Each structure stands twice: as structure tokens, then as C-alpha cells.
Chain A
Amino acid sequence: MASGGNHRGINQPQDGLFDIRLIVNGVPRTARVPSRRLLSDCLRHDLRLTGTHVGCEHGVCGACTVLLDGVAVRSCLMLAVTADGARITTVEGLTGPDGTLSPVQQAFADCHGLQCGFCTPGFLTTITAALHDNPEPSPEEARDIIGGNLCRCTGYQNIVKAVLRAAELRSAGPGRADGS
């Protein structure tokens, strides 16, 4: 019956919890989670990485975006058990080991790309991945990059500027952590 059974590839302890392994920001982590635990909640509650924010919890706002094996995804639309074995980069992982801001983070500071900051982690991760794929976006492409993220403060103009500024910083200075 619908009990989960003993299927290969995942351990299921008797109490219905799953042991998962993740590499989060370069650090191997483990967690014991119920099947319904969202990756966003696993990061925030189980692993205490509260930089990933949860806004709408149905994929609309983009605040919870993280990098899954380098690809930007909504962590609220993924089960933690599905992510078992993956390499995750959260906003905490964008900053260099010495605290140096990544090009995207520096650009947000330079361009005043945030106000309350709630949506910012999702913008930073989304833009980081997008610039990895397209290092020199046009202003129009910069708008497309952030089209799936909501910000209720800035009016977006400074975030568009920050995307373009981040591309400049990125091409000027290599060697910064960009999660990719």
C-alpha cells in the first residue's frame, strides 16, 4: 500500500523521516526531514540558514530562489528529499570566505537596489545564475532576468541598474565567489 516501502536510493527510518545529505555553500550537511518538508524550510529551519526568504510559497515571488547544482530554482517548489545529494548555493554562499561581497551583492549596494531587503536574496541568486549564462545582458535582457521576482519597495529601476552594474563588476574583477 502507500507506505513508501523500502525503495532504493533513499533511507526511510521507521518514524517516516528521511535522512538527506546536501552540500550547502560548499559545506556537507545532513538533515532528517519528513517527506513534505520544503527545501526552503529545510534550509531555514533544519539548517538554520535564514538568508533564504519565504514570501508567497507558491512560486510567484521568487524570494526563496537558490542555486541547485548551479541552476536557479524556487526552493519553495521543491521537496527537501528531492534535493538529496544536491549542491545548493544560498544567498549566504554568494559572499567570499573573507566577507567580500560578490559582484551582484556589491552592485545592489552601489545602485541602491534594495530597500526593505526581503526580496533581495532571491534577486541576488537569480541574477548570479543569469549572469553566469549571459555575462553581458542588454537593458532589456536585464529586465527579463528579474521578470520572475517581485519587489514591493524599489520600483525595480535600481535593480535593473544593479544587474547591468553587476555585469560590469563581474567582467572587471575575477576571483569572487559567485556560486557558479
Chain B
Amino acid sequence: MLRFTVRRLISMVFILFAISVITFMIFNVVPGGGSEGATLRIAGRASNEVTRAQVKKDYGFDQPVYVQYVRMMQKTLSCELVSYSNQTNVCEEIKRGIPATFSLVIGAAIIWVFFGVLFGVISAMKAGKFTDHFLTGMAMVGISLPVFWLGAMLLYYLTFKIELFPPGGYEKFSDDPWQWFYHLILPWFTLSVLSIGFYSRLLRSNVLDTESEDYVRTARAKGLSEHRVLSRHVLRNALIPIITLFGLDFGAALGGGAILTETVFGLQGVGQYAASSVGSLDLPPVLATTLFASFFIVLLSAIVDIAYAFLDPRIRLEA
């Protein structure tokens, strides 16, 4: 167990390192990017050669690529990284976006797991009947609706046409819990609809597969109540693959994968910050947010692997 954790930590470091290098390289080859693009951005389009040369020197753009990389990583890790577009500290900006992103994602995750599992189980229990067809249809709709379209529609109809909800923005929990909650209802719904559809389909199929397993037949032959067969035998096994998926989904969303939802609703979270920095080809925030997201994905993936070993005794960690 300890060996496993140490190995994972080491591989985490390698992965993050690789991602930082790749992101840096991509930035350097993208048109409008690289040190040329950055110089332009910082000095301004109307600047002259002298200013630009000065900027290059100040920012170390005249150094070889790997030196630039090392300097940027140093600044990132010591939280001194500054954006090229404006003079803000990237680290601070990310910190400011965290409450919104975490509130959105954690809330949505709870909703999508709860309803995904609930609808999946109901669908499976009533397989082939009307309820199943109905829920399947809803799931398909949920999966097919583009998040930004759904968000925009909800904003239009429920905050503009009928002023039922606030038109976006994030209220801090410490300022006003009710407002915090109220502002998050639509974003939560928008973000979770896709996942509810997906998870309910997945769970339905896992439950149906598990139901046809021999050990479920044995459980029934033992005379156990249907409730016990379902919860202790069927679900306990059907949920295991879902947990792996959830860990990765959650990690990705937490690290800034809720970009579209944040942008549509103007939540000023880490995702929105990442989106706008990519739009303006601003390397420091792009690098930092990418690493931020990767960190969570890699961390959650390691946690999921450990959890899997607890949940399924057939898996041994030190293989």
C-alpha cells in the first residue's frame, strides 16, 4: 500500500512535468504565440522596436527556450507568475476563482451522482417498460444538449423572460448563503444534466448485467428479501465501475472542466479564467490552469485506484 502510494506520487510528478512541457511547447508553436506574440501583447501593438527589445530582455524572451521554461516553472511554483495581458498575479487569480469552481462542481457532482444512480436503478428495475423508455429518452436528451446552449436557454427563459432566477454571477457563501445557493441553482442544473443522462445509462446497463450474474441468483435462492438482494448484492457490484468513472469526471471538472458552464453564467471561476486566457493566448495563466486541472485529475485518479482496491477484493495493489 505504501509502495503503491509512493509510486503513484512519483508518477504524478512525472505526468505534471510532461504536461507542463507539452503546454509550453504548444504555446510556442501556435500562431500568435511564442515569445514574439507575448512581446507584442505586453509591449502593445503600437510599440516600437526599442520598447519591444526592452520587453524581451525584461521577460527573458531572448533566452533559449528551455531557460524560459525553467524560469516560468520557477515562477509558477513560487506563486510569482504574472499574466502577459494584464499585470495580475496568476496564482492570486486562480485562488479567487476556486470558491466558485468548487461550489459549482461539488454541488453538481452530488446532484448528478444522486440522480444518475437513482434513475439508472429505476430504469434497470423497470427495464422494457414505459418508465424505462421514458428515462432512457430523457437521458438521451440530457446527453445531447450542448451545455452552452442549455445554459443560454435557461438564462433567456428563466432569468430574462420570467425573472425566476438571477442572471448569472457568483455570490460568496460567507456573504449570503441563500444568495450563494440561489445563484448556483441554474448552473448546477446545467452542468449536471449531461452527467445524469450518462451515468443513468451506464448504471442501468451495469445493474442489468449484474442482475444476470450467478451470485445474484444464489442470493435469491437463499431467500433474501428483494431489497437486500438489490442493495447488498446487485448495487454493491454494479457501482464499482461507476466509481472509477466518477473519480475521473469529478477530477476533470474540479480542475476547470466546467469551463462552458462558468462562462455562460459568468461565475468567474478557474474555468472561465482558463478560457479567457486561452482566448488571449496568455501563456502564464494557461500553463498554471492546465497544471491546476491536471493535478486534480491525477490526484483523483490515484484515489480512485486505491478506492477500487478496497471495493473489490480481487484487485491487489502491489501486483
Q: Do A and B belong to a common assembly? A: no
Which residues of chain A have a CB within 8 Å of any CB of chain B? none
